[in-house]
Amino acid sequence: MYRAPLAAYPALRPRRLRQADWIRRLVRETVLTPSDLIWSLVVHDGPEDEIQVASMPGAPRMSVRRAAEAAREARTLGIPAIAVFPFIDPALKDDRGTAATDENGLICRAVKAMKDAAPEVGIMCDVALDPFTSHGHDGLIENGRILNDATVERLIEQGLVQAAAGCDILAPSDMMDGRVGRLRTSLEAEGMTDVAIMAYAAKYASAFYGPYRDAIGSASVLSGDKKTYQMDPGNSEEALREVALDISEGADMVMVKPGMPYLDIVQRVAETFALPTFAFQVSGEYAMIQAAAQNGWIDGDRAMLESLGGFKRAGCAGVITYFAPRAARALAG
């Protein structure tokens, strides 16, 4: 909270505290560390260790073997957790997202490989059907309408399979009503009491998801938009209602997505609920910084760290970002 200064110029000269690096570090209010980062990455089922995604330079799809290496890398860099997302073979997609509940599927194998490689690193899984459906939506469709309750039942199956594979944090990103409570109840019933839930509590229908949809292969199949279940970008009070509902249903942590365009929402959520609040620096945010840096328009590392620091300043406990390993190296000097 701002308070009027007790003295006036020249007795008070704020620049005294900016004169050298040592004193700037000494009085810094917000400090970003690798412990504030969750590494977002996409896995694929092919033999190639890495497959580049044109719209996300520097954030390739990884094989399961390479994802295991990434887990060891995260441990070395001090990154506490990885959020893993799948690129599914189009031949395995159908209108119900059947592959989402395959206990021998890509995500389950990736989770097991990463936990075997670096058990100290937390693994977070997205609970949503869109990477697995032939229509690219997060839910089941009937006559052009997303079915809420039927979708929730599929999501519970998916979350339990991921938890059984060793996932530490389930992150329902679908924005169906009631899914957090059903997921928490189901985990308790199965004795999976230590599995945490980070709810995508305020997820907006945003233009910033495009590169991610390229990365997971849903961009070319998505029909229509997701405005009947993702939030209207003009709404702020609604975000607080959504967060309150997810907390009441058993969420351990909450998330705002996207990140930078919604820092006002991050701040309101963090101050209102005092629960660990995260933001997702989504693919479009990542791609903009990368593209501008590659064109020489900005200093990429400085812009990366400045953007991540902004999340912390707004009240984030941590940030999910594709920049995580690069940022951790930069923070280490």
Q: What is the pLDDT of residue 167?
A: 98
Between strands 318-321 and 277-281, the pairing is parallel
The active-site residue out of 93, 115, 226, 257 is: 257
The radius of gyration of the chain from alpha carbons, rounded to an integer in Å, stands at 20
Phi, psi (rounded to 5 degrees) for 298: -140, 165
Residue 75's region, left for phi above 0, alpha for psi from -120 to 50, else beta, is alpha
Q: One digit per residue, pLDDT tens: the chain, 333 residues?
A: 667 767 889 998 999 999 999 999 999 999 999 999 999 999 999 999 999 999 999 999 999 999 999 999 999 999 999 999 999 999 999 999 999 999 999 999 999 999 999 999 999 999 999 999 999 999 999 999 999 999 999 999 999 999 999 999 999 999 999 999 999 999 999 999 999 999 999 999 999 999 999 999 998 888 889 999 999 999 999 999 999 999 999 999 999 999 999 999 999 999 999 999 999 999 999 999 999 999 999 999 999 999 999 999 999 999 999 999 999 999 998
H/E stretch holding 197 reads strand 196-203
Cβ proximity of 147 and 231 under 8 Å:
no
pLDDT value of residue 148: 97
Q: Is 203 a catalytic residue?
A: yes
pTM of the predicted model as reported, rounded to 2 decimal places? 0.96
- Joined together, the tokens standing for residue 232 give 């209207």
**Which residue among the candidates 115, 203, 226, 312 is catalytic per the annotation?**
203
Please report, to the nearest 10 degrees, the dihedral formed by the alpha carbons of residues 312, 331, 125, 201 taken in order: 10
Q: How far apart are CA 159 and CA 251, in angstroms?
A: 14
Q: Which domains does the chain have, with CATH numbers?
A: 32-331 (3.20.20.70)
